[in-house]
Amino acid sequence: MPPGFDLAERGFCPVRWRAGQRPETFSPETPLGLVDLLLHAHRIEDVEISPPPALSGFLRILVVLTGRITGLDRMESFEDWEEAREDLLHTGRFDETAIRRYFDEFSGRFELFHTATAHPFLQDARLLEQCRNPQGDQVSSGVNKLVLNRAAGQAFVWHSHTVDADPSPVPAAEAVWSLLTWLYYGPPGRCTARQVGKTRAGDTKSGPLRGTVSYHPVGKSLFHTLVLGLPYVPWHEHDAAPWEEEPHDPLSVPPPAQGLARKLTGRFRHAVLLTPSESGDAVVDARITWAWREEHAPTEDPYVMHRVPTNGGAPISESASATRAVWRDLDALLGRTEQRRRPEVLAHLDELAVEEGAFTAIRALGFDQDRSQAKERQYFSGITPPVLEAWQARDPRRWAQLREAREAAEQTAWQLQEALSGLWQQLSKTTNGKARDRGVPWLHKAMTTYWQSAERCFWEAVHAEEASAPVRNRMIEVALRTYDDTTADLMRQPKQVKAVEEHRRGLWRGWRSEAKANGEDDG
């Protein structure tokens, strides 16, 4: 029997220690298991996990564990929860006795492989028998299917240098991140067939976070990040995480997302089972199939932004876009727009005292995906600078600067996009508004360049102590430089110069002269 890989004790998570806080028993490169991660959370600056979707899922797992060992998930009123959270922040660390008591209670439930336990972590051991082909033979999905950036099945060979006939094993620690990515962001559609009783099916629905971006508070230590990142969810007597209960009947109706654990870890649509190598330090095969036939009841994830429909319908989770930086949503994240509902976890920080000094920034973790089919575009991450004291202090001047800078950037971006699209349509005599980037070959690169420069202007405007050049003018200057760089080759052809200049003029809309900027009459 292969040896086990118990995530409670075995090191699998790399960390970055706070300056001067690393215990002598650990080297800077030593990965930690879950117990050590929580015991030393106040000494750790952050976990160092990639890809971003895996970190998004892992933070939810850690938040559930935080709720369990602190009791913050068992508060029946928001007032009690808020008071207990502030007391915990003053304490400054997690209680060692509570940590060890919890992991002793669920000993063996954090084991990664079914060969060492009947309850592999976040997996279903029944898949070994239930994943079968029409002839009744056991089948698997393959380890290449498990890993996000590997080619598998009929995928194009240039996606990676892997083939199903000779797959490379995946180190056990890395397989954890692939497991989390599948459970939270897995695609809908065809999967390995699973037979339960008389029901045999080979399709599944999307993972609960597919195509979304999550926003997490970042504290000065992992301890602060987890405590501040724990949303208030009313206690429910039937709340349970997957590792705390027996597997459910996959043909039954999923339990409602009541309680912290069910809300964050109880809505998976995929079932996974990993096969270990003989040594137990790698994964050599995997089964990936459906977890439920019935739908989950709708619920709002506390880390996701939601758009409020104008017709009064239910809020819709905001779609992730790899081209959209976190600063463009900062005013919505801090609760200053009516059309978009900020993540619930951020609303819980409104009353946190500034003197705690625990809260520094907001981290965005997203996966740009097609929600209705197995099409992956790009995962991404971003973080705001530590400028949120203005939010906590409710500085009206800072708020005005932030709002004006974001609106100026968005309006100017629209003008740049229209100018470049119009120029392409005029020169090529084609119109393709439904295609990605409107069919304009230079649009994506140009807009990426614009947004990178616009971000610098944004933060400079937010930080500015005194009024300088109007922020709209500075954004227009960025757009003009981007437009000129994009169209430089066209200016060598006299027949095209006129078209370039005609569309360039549209970028000047919104420019404020010095007299107008000072509130004087231009006349």
Task: Give whole-number Cα distances, 73 to 109, 230, 240, 494, in Å.
Answer: 20, 9, 11, 69
State yes or no: pLDDT of 321 exceeds 90. Answer: no
| pLDDT for 123 | 97
Residues whose CB is less than 8 angstroms from the CB of residue 416 and which lie 6 or more positions away in sequence, other chains included? 446, 447, 450, 479, 482, 483, 507
Choice between 268 and 494, residue whose per-residue pLDDT is larger: 268
User: Measuring CA to CA, which residue among 14, 42, 16, 43 is closest to residue 176?
Assistant: 14
Q: Where residue 35 falls among pLDDT bands split at 50, 70, 90? A: very high
State yes or no: pLDDT of 393 exceeds 60. Answer: no
| pLDDT for 433 | 56
What average pLDDT score do residues 29-44 get? 97
- Residue spans per domain, the chain: 1-392, 395-523
| pLDDT for 147 | 92
What average pLDDT score do residues 118-126 get? 97
Task: Please tell me the least confidently modeled range out of 69-73, 398-402, 490-494.
Answer: 398-402
Per-chain mean pLDDT for the chain: 87
DSSP string across 55-86: HHHHHHHHHHHHHHHHSGGG-SSHHHHHHHHH
Buried/exposed 146-181: b ≥16 CB within 10 Å, e otherwise: bbbebbbeeeeeeebebebeebebbebbbbbbbbbb
% of residues, the chain, pLDDT over 90: 62
| pLDDT for 1 | 58
State yes or no: pLDDT of 324 exceeds 70. Answer: yes
Tell me the C-alpha distance between 70 and 98, whole Å. 7
Residues whose CB is less than 8 angstroms from the CB of residue 143 and which lie 6 or more positions away in sequence, other chains included? 167, 168, 169, 170, 275, 283, 284, 285, 286
Tokens of 376: 């992956």
Tell me the C-alpha distance between 222 and 516, whole Å. 48
Q: Where residue 463 falls among pLDDT bands split at 50, 70, 90? A: confident
| pLDDT for 389 | 54
Tokens of 76: 């029946």
Strand partners, 317: 306
The pTM is what? 0.87
| pLDDT for 156 | 43
Strand partners, 32: 13
% of residues, the chain, pLDDT over 70: 88
Model pLDDT for residues 263-316, shown as the tens digit of each residue: 999 999 999 999 999 999 999 999 999 999 999 999 999 999 998 887 777 888
Model pLDDT for residues 51-94, shown as the tens digit of each residue: 999 999 999 999 999 999 999 999 989 999 999 999 999 999 99
| pLDDT for 404 | 87
Q: What is the 3-state secondary structure (H, E, C) of 283-349?
A: EEEEEEEECCCCCCCCCCCCCECEECCCCCCCCEECECCCCCCHHHHHHHHCCCCCCEECCHHHHCC
Tell me the C-alpha distance between 260 and 344, whole Å. 13
What average pLDDT score do residues 253-270 get? 96
User: Measuring CA to CA, which residue among 48, 13, 51 is closest to residue 376?
Assistant: 51
Model pLDDT for residues 124-156, shown as the tens digit of each residue: 999 999 999 988 889 999 999 999 876 554 444
Tell me the C-alpha distance between 431 and 47, whole Å. 47
Model pLDDT for residues 352-387, shown as the tens digit of each residue: 644 456 667 889 999 998 888 888 888 889 888 765
Tell me the C-alpha distance between 72 and 99, whole Å. 14
Q: Where residue 518 falls among pLDDT bands split at 50, 70, 90? A: low
| pLDDT for 50 | 87
Choice between 178 and 388, residue whose per-residue pLDDT is larger: 178
| pLDDT for 164 | 59
Task: Give whole-number Cα distances, 424 to 261, 421, 429, 506, in Å.
Answer: 51, 5, 8, 15
